[in-house]
Amino acid sequence: MIDYDYLASRLATSLAVTFGVSVVTYGLIFLTPGDPAEIILSQQLDRQPSAAEIEAFRADHGLNDPIPVQYLHWLTDVFRGDLGSSYYSDTPVSTLIVETVPLTLELALAAMLVALAISIPAGVVSAVHRGTSIDHASQLGALLGVSMPNFWLAYLLILLFPLTLGVLPVAGAGSFGHLVLPAITLGTGMAAVVTRLVRSSMLEVLDEAYVDTARAKGLRERIVVYKHALRNALVPVVTILGLQLGTLLNGAVVVEIIFQRPGLGSLLVDAVFERNYPVVQGVTLVTAIVFVATNLLVDLTYRYLDPRVQLGGETA
């Protein structure tokens, strides 16, 4: 059964984390050099704005208020469902996020599928054949995957497939072909981490008594490994998947810039350079909510994968 007291505690913690992220992000935004009014007006007017124009812009957007006051106004609007509007186009931030978040989630989920498709078979085979050349090759591949920067792999893939072989598009979005290279780039690093975790978890599970019992009953090794051992070995893997989602969202920033995908990452980077404060804060808030919600979902998934695990942290 679900421990509702534990769930209430986790929800409270999630809200506190989200609030903390919003406070820190809002404070750090104002530490960046440059006056957003002057920067934005210079681009919009294509000339140096006058002092009166800068002052009018700051007054219209509440930039003359103390930072705590500005934050309280923003937080009040958030509770009303209003994330503010872009300084450049007056487009609601929520509209910009709704337009771009599907592409980022598409990339993150595709990268996770790539990672799972590589890591689970590699980790299982490595554990079953521990100490052999297969095991050593798997561990070497995982080490290379962890050590390889995403941007370097991205440029290698671009050099190999679009430029040398003439297949797959270099940049953009909208088709399956546009998703392949970014997903491989983003998923490879995650695959390396998960492979090592699957291997270590499988090694522990394969030494359990119930695995020996299943073998003693005459079950095929494939059934013993994939039906009995793998399910319990996936419990810690679920944890890392939840944590890696945040990593994927952060990594998507670099990948989206390289492959020119119009996702959350590109939106955030452009907003930072443009000093578009409402967009920066809105994207950060949404990312934090996705991260904490995913971790809460991970805890709930524990119970399904291993009924012995209680949500309160005890083992039945």
pLDDT value at position 240? Answer: 74
Confidence band (pLDDT; 50, 70, 90) for 315?
A: very low
Query: Going from the N-terminus, what domains does the chain have, and what CATH number goes with each?
Result: 4-86 (no CATH), 94-305 (1.10.3720.10)
304: pLDDT strictly greater than 70: no
Confidence band (pLDDT; 50, 70, 90) for 310?
A: low
pLDDT value at position 96? Answer: 92
pLDDT value at position 2? Answer: 57
pLDDT value at position 158? Answer: 92
User: CA torsion angle for 250, 256, 258, 261 (degrees, to 10)?
Assistant: 180
pLDDT value at position 302? Answer: 63
Mean pLDDT of the 98-119 span: 89
3: pLDDT strictly greater than 70: no
Q: What is the pLDDT of residues 30-70, one digit of tens each?
A: 777 777 888 888 888 888 888 888 889 888 888 888 888 98
Mean pLDDT of the 248-265 span: 83
* Range of weakest confidence among 37-46, 54-63, 209-218, 252-261: 209-218
Q: What is the pLDDT of residues 264-303, one digit of tens each?
A: 888 888 888 888 889 999 988 888 888 888 777 777 666 5
Non-local CB neighbours of 65 within 8 Å, separated by 6+ positions: 73
* Range of weakest confidence among 25-29, 75-79, 219-223, 262-266: 219-223
* Range of weakest confidence among 83-92, 128-137, 199-208, 248-257: 248-257
Q: pTM for the full model?
A: 0.77
Confidence band (pLDDT; 50, 70, 90) for 316?
A: very low
